[in-house]
Amino acid sequence: MKNNRFRASLITIASALLCVLVGLVIGFLALVLLGYISLKGGSAPFTLGDVLSTAYNSGFKQVLLGGVYRLPRGLRNEIALAAPLIMTGLSVAFAFKTGLFNIGAAGQYAVGAFGALYCALIWNLPWYLCLLGAAVFGAVWGAIPGFFKAFFNINEVITAIMFNWIGLYGVNTLMYGGGSSPMYNLKTTKTWPVSAKSPASLIPDLKELGATYFQRPGTIAIFVAVVIAVILWVVLNKTTFGYELKACGYSKSAAKYAGINEKRNIILAMAISGALAGIGAGLYYLSGTAEWQPLVSTALPGIGFDGISVALLASSNPLGVIFSALFIAHISTGGGFMSANIFPPEIADVISGVIIYLCAFMMLFKRRIGGLFTRKENEGGKN
Amino acid sequence: MSDYVIEMLHITKTFPGIKANDDVTLQLKKGEIHALLGENGAGKSTLMSVLFGLYQPDSGEIRKEGKKVEINDPNDANALGIGMVHQHFKLVEVFSVLDNIILGAEDAKMGVLKKKKAREKVVALSEKYGLRVEPDALIEDISVGMQQRVEILKMLYRDNDILIFDEPTAVLTPQEIDELMEIMRNFAKEGKSILFITHKLNEIMAVADRCTVLRKGKYVGTVNIADTSKEELSRMMVGRNVSFEVEKKDITPGSVVLEVRDVTVPSKLHKKDVVKHVSFEVRAGEIVCLAGIEGNGQTEFVAALTGLDTMSHGRIRLNGKDITHYSIRERAKAGISHIPEDRHKHGLVLDYTLEENMVLQRYWEPAFQDGGFIKKGEVRRYAEKLIDQYDVRSGQGSITIARSMSGGNQQKAIVAREIDRGTDLLVAVQPTRGLDVGAIEYIHKQIVNVRDSRKAVLLVSLELDEVMNLSDRILVMYEGEIVGEFDPKHTTVQELGLYMAGARKQSEEADDDEK
């Protein structure tokens, strides 16, 4: 009987891998096309082999290798990117599991960033309390659409989209404070670096391993994210709380019949979802590599929306999110290493976009692959 | 020219792990009402889905008027004049009646719908066959009975002349059933051929010309109704003799378990109340039945009783304790089990496994959780006990996804879960809806056992056979009021029918006398 569940997860993983494979093939074809255009622009004659080798050597290789292409810096960047991406992916995945679509991860991420930086720059709190601050801010921002959904049945997507923008500009305003905010550094037009104002708020380095391998240490952010993913998996699969949340997600009416307080669960689920996105921002902005730029942050943090892709690719499984976030981080880091004069770095986004698009067809693949398995089993039975 | 308008010859259809149809033959004559009889899971629905083009048979062929045809999808079926009323209606909830009827066969000019002619045709059909519908009402707002009439009109609108009815009477009242029978006879008289899927023998005896019986996917035989009996048919269907009577011990009811006083529930659709000042009591060791035509407030009353919905007025006491303002969970804890009317909507989380569903009302109990962590081992052990005890059949035992189970077994699982809680009050709403005789017999026995163990049972049923067989007292509900109280030993189905239809009402004084 165990076999059955094992097989189901195997099929899910196989279909995700299939999506990835097809996405990479289509990405390669796009690179070939771009390479052809670029070579045609030159005066030198060229062959098909030239086109293919340009596409591979100046673009596709980088995408495939990702951060490994430029060791050790690339890998360090990749992992640094993966940590917050895991968090926003978990944020969206957790909401999906409870039947909600948290498109507001971007806004919760921005508000969470404010929470983290405020705790760090103003109160000089240690890093774990700053992460907690980020979580609380994100949670509040997630809970609001949840509240509207639970009590007024307003679609959480609409509220969350609006709260994305309210959050982003609210954060910009607060951090800038007309230039006089204590968080804002007039000279750099960014928030003050956490390392300068409050070193204790920086996420600790991964000293031994990091220093020897990456030359400069990375942080333990990735481990924090992985631990949270595991905790989330346990909550969803092993606890009564997870049982209630999933019941609400599958069937609100049956959950109500079972005496589950579905209003409370919707708000809680959105709050937790928001907290996860907030922690993601904390992991990023407390790593000492980036500051918030209140004057030029006019677009929502893309990482919030990438979380949707990550969650879809992982079929909303918290453990799967770890791998899908690593993968998305891998190809987008690789995208940055492509020869910029031939290929725009956005090609990595195209590839991940194709992959995500294919994820929508995943159900179809699942059935096909499932069919393959059964057929094989049946044949086995005959022999 | 063949005698038969449709023939399905030697159809075999296999699903992973199960042979749903094994060499089944079904021949339908023009102008006849042909019943297809079998227990749940006997393969009736699969066979019809093959005919309707939803499944492709592994072997066998379908002939129309002697010519072999391929039916690859419902459009092919429709082109051959085959229409089907599904057991679970296929209607768009937020569309109007008219829109649902024309959906897929709509007339349009330059992409703009031409609804006027369609409306005329629908109104004409509805008048001709006595199929009352409100063309502009939304599906989600109308009764199940009317939804079914919409489904029938859908077939007529498409000029189908081979009509498949998949368990059409499961959702109807006695009077509505009579009406439907009459409608079916009219269809047959006009030369339409009818395939009538059911497991209700009375209806087959009343309306069908011939009957084909399936058992466990296999063809048992085809008989002329004129030459057979109910007993004969049930033996063919189940493979053994079935008793239609429920055996009940005589017991004197004990103390009052449920006391309902003056309960009023407002409607969600209009300003009027759907339940008006309802008062009654249920005692320990007694089965009280709320009978009535569907849509007379029973559903809303049960929702208010179990806490799914709020009431505007009145009190509910359980064992003397006022539970009027209790939440759903608090009521469950206080001692109410509830077999809900809609097993898909309320009774089960369809995407949960059977074992997860078995603890849906108890997962929070210390027996099944420890510090918020579910004790998986305990849950499985408990689920397997219930599965075994109540003979719930499924593909993979306790880890079967509830959605993949047959309706009868889903219902059994719910009955098992609710009865096993052993609460003082069992509220059973249509507990045997859509089930076959074997399963009905079984569930009836379980409900009587609950009563015999001196618990109180409130049964809500639309099936008069069930009402008469099971209850100790019958309350008839009409338009949100209780219009009469009866002792099943001293009343008849006909008398109940009159009260249910609102033609008669016991006066207030008479009501008081009986108390």
pLDDT digits (tens, 9 = 90+) for A91-123: 999 999 988 999 999 999 999 999 999 999 889
Q: Number of A:B CB contacts under 8 A? A: 73
Chain B residues within 8 A (CB-CB) of chain A? 16, 306-308, 327-332, 338, 340, 345-352, 356, 360-361, 363-364, 369, 372-374, 376, 396-397, 399
Measure in Å the smallest separation between the Cα of A45 and chain B Cα atoms: 53
The helix (run of H) or strand (run of E) holding residue A93 is helix A73-97
Q: Decide if B327 and A247 are in contact by the 8 Å CB cutoff.
A: no
User: CB–CB of A292/A117 below 8 Å?
Assistant: yes
B9, part of any domain: yes
Compare CB distances from B397 to A1, A256, A261 and report the shortest one's residue: A1
Q: Decide if A243 and B361 are in contact by the 8 Å CB cutoff.
A: no
Domain end call among B175, B208, B238: B238
Q: Judge if B264 and B211 occupy the same domain.
A: no
Q: Judge if B192 and B82 occupy the same domain.
A: yes
Q: Decide if B372 and A239 are in contact by the 8 Å CB cutoff.
A: yes
- Residue B7, token pair as written in the block: 């023939």
Closest B-chain CA to A251: B349
Q: Decide if B373 and A4 are in contact by the 8 Å CB cutoff.
A: no
Q: Decide if B374 and A238 are in contact by the 8 Å CB cutoff.
A: yes
Measure in Å the smallest separation between the Cα of B152 and chain A Cα atoms: 29
pLDDT of residue A1: 44
Closest A-chain CA to B374: A239
B477, part of any domain: yes
pLDDT of residue A381: 34
A251-270 pLDDT, tens digit each: 989 999 999 998 999 999 99
pLDDT of residue B39: 77
Q: Judge if B49 and B179 occupy the same domain.
A: yes
Q: Judge if B179 and B307 occupy the same domain.
A: no
B384, part of any domain: no
Q: Judge if B210 and B271 occupy the same domain.
A: no
Measure in Å the smallest separation between the Cα of A258 and chain B Cα atoms: 5
B356, part of any domain: no
CATH code of B454's domain: 3.40.50.300
Tell me which amino acid residue B463 is: E
Q: Judge if B140 and B271 occupy the same domain.
A: no
Q: Judge if B175 and B232 occupy the same domain.
A: yes
Q: What is the rounded average pLDDT of the residues A159-166? A: 95
pLDDT bin (cut points 50, 70, 90) of residue A379 is very low
B393, part of any domain: no
**Residue A98 CB: number of other CB atoms within 10 A?**
27
Q: Judge if B268 and B151 occupy the same domain.
A: no
Closest B-chain CA to A236: B373
Compare CB distances from A240 to B340, B352, B372 and report the shortest one's residue: B372
User: CB–CB of A218/A76 below 8 Å?
Assistant: yes
pLDDT of residue A375: 45
Between residues B229 and A231, which one has the greater pLDDT? A231
Domain end call among B190, B207, B238: B238
User: CB–CB of B341/B430 below 8 Å?
Assistant: yes
Closest B-chain CA to A375: B16
- Residue A365, token pair as written in the block: 């693949």
Task: Name the DSSP letter for residue B515.
Answer: -
What global pTM score does this model have? 0.76
Measure in Å the smallest separation between the Cα of A238 and chain B Cα atoms: 6
* CATH number among 2.60.40, 1.10.238, 1.10.3470, 2.20.25, domain A71-341: 1.10.3470
Whether the per-residue pLDDT at A374 is higher than 60: the answer is no
What span, in angstroms and rounded, lies between the C-alpha atoms of A131 and A128?
5
pLDDT of residue B436: 73
B133, part of any domain: yes
Range of the domain at B42: 4-238
pLDDT of residue B63: 92
Domain boundaries, chain A: 71-341
What span, in angstroms and rounded, lies between the C-alpha atoms of B362 and B146?
37
Measure in Å the smallest separation between the Cα of A10 and chain B Cα atoms: 17
Q: Decide if A243 and B356 are in contact by the 8 Å CB cutoff.
A: yes
Q: Judge if B225 and B266 occupy the same domain.
A: no
Domain end call among B238, B269, B286: B238
Whether the per-residue pLDDT at A141 is higher than 60: the answer is yes
How many distinct structural domains can be found in chain B?
A: 2
The helix (run of H) or strand (run of E) holding residue B503 is none
Q: Judge if B68 and B140 occupy the same domain.
A: yes
| pLDDT tens sequence for chain B (515 residues) | 568 899 999 999 887 767 888 899 999 999 999 999 887 778 888 898 899 888 889 999 999 988 999 999 888 898 899 998 887 788 888 899 999 998 887 777 777 888 888 899 999 998 888 888 888 889 888 877 788 889 999 999 988 989 999 888 766 767 778 888 988 999 999 899 999 988 778 889 999 999 999 988 889 999 999 999 888 888 888 777 766 677 788 888 889 999 999 999 998 777 788 999 999 999 999 999 999 877 789 999 999 999 998 899 999 999 999 999 999 999 999 999 999 998 889 999 999 999 999 999 999 999 999 999 999 999 999 999 999 988 888 878 888 889 888 788 899 999 999 999 989 999 999 998 767 777 888 889 999 999 999 999 999 988 788 888 899 999 999 889 999 999 998 988 878 878 887 777 876 544 444 44
Closest B-chain CA to A377: B16
B351, part of any domain: no
What span, in angstroms and rounded, lies between the C-alpha atoms of B365 and B361?
9
Q: Judge if B109 and B153 occupy the same domain.
A: yes
* Beta-carbon-side half-sphere exposure of residue B216 (alpha carbons within 13 Å): 3
Task: Name the DSSP letter for residue A204.
Answer: P
Measure in Å the smallest separation between the Cα of B305 and chain A Cα atoms: 12
Q: Judge if B28 and B147 occupy the same domain.
A: yes
Whether the per-residue pLDDT at A43 is higher than 90: the answer is no
User: CB–CB of A317/A233 below 8 Å?
Assistant: yes
Compare CB distances from A259 to B332, B374, B397 and report the shortest one's residue: B332
Whether the per-residue pLDDT at A326 is higher than 50: the answer is yes
Q: Decide if A257 and B338 are in contact by the 8 Å CB cutoff.
A: yes
B373, part of any domain: no
* Beta-carbon-side half-sphere exposure of residue B418 (alpha carbons within 13 Å): 30
Closest A-chain CA to B396: A1
What span, in angstroms and rounded, lies between the C-alpha atoms of A271 and A273?
5
